[in-house]
Amino acid sequence: MTQTEVAHAQANYLKITNYKVYYGWATHYPQDWMIIRQFENEGKNYFLLVNPQTLETRIDEPSFYKVKPLTLSEARDFFRNSPYIKAIKKAERHSVNTQDAGIENGMPKQTGISLTADLCPSHRPLDKRIFTEIISEFQKVEYPVPVALSVSGIWMKQHQQDLEWLKKCMRSIK
């Protein structure tokens, strides 16, 4: 009896260029995917795909799929009955337009403000001054400080000292 193990590993896309919004339909029988982004990494083209039924995402090469480029409107219409488009429409119904500081949408039942930031892979060190000033000023009017960070695994590997500094800051304001 032979046992086969399948291992899945996350690829490291460290040299991303030409990243852009791109919509379309991609199929690799029997599964249809919605294309939501396109980019290059080390000279190869890739799509960021979402399974409109399960919301699973994946990055893959276009050559594995039959592809039809679509506008956003066409993509939304093509996948209109999928859980993915239904979730987007529900989120849009529950958001309201706000203004200032590049913030586009906020939840209507939420009071005050929350600051969110993405710490994506970067060769630059964390600008600690931004966080110290935000924490210092917010603590005067709101506690705990309403800051949410999205941190990628690659960023954590490349910025271990900055990550430890952030953890220390979070412990100090609780």
Quick: pLDDT tens for 9-18. Answer: 556 778 889 9
Q: Which amino acid is at 169?
A: C
pLDDT at 2 over 70: no
More confident residue, 28 or 97: 28
Region 144-155: mean pLDDT is 75
pLDDT classification of 41: cutoffs 50, 70, 90: very high
**Mean pLDDT value across the chain:** 80
Statement: residue 70 has pLDDT above 70: yes
| Residue 22 vs residue 5, higher pLDDT | 22
pTM for the full model? 0.53
Q: Is the pLDDT of residue 157 over 90?
A: no
* Residue 14: partners with Cβ closer than 8 Å, 6 or more residues away: 41, 121, 154
Whole-angstrom CA distances from 159 to 108, 118, 120, 155, 163 are 35, 14, 11, 6, 6
Of 158 and 7, more confident: 158
Among candidates 61, 66, 25, which has minimal Cα distance to 43?
A: 61
Does 48 have pLDDT greater than 50?
A: yes
pLDDT at 35 over 90: yes
> What pLDDT is stored for residue 136 in this prediction?
81
pLDDT at position 111 is: 54
pLDDT beyond 50 at 128: yes
- The CA distances from residue 30 to 27, 35, 51, 53, in Å, are 7, 16, 12, 13
pLDDT at 86 over 60: yes
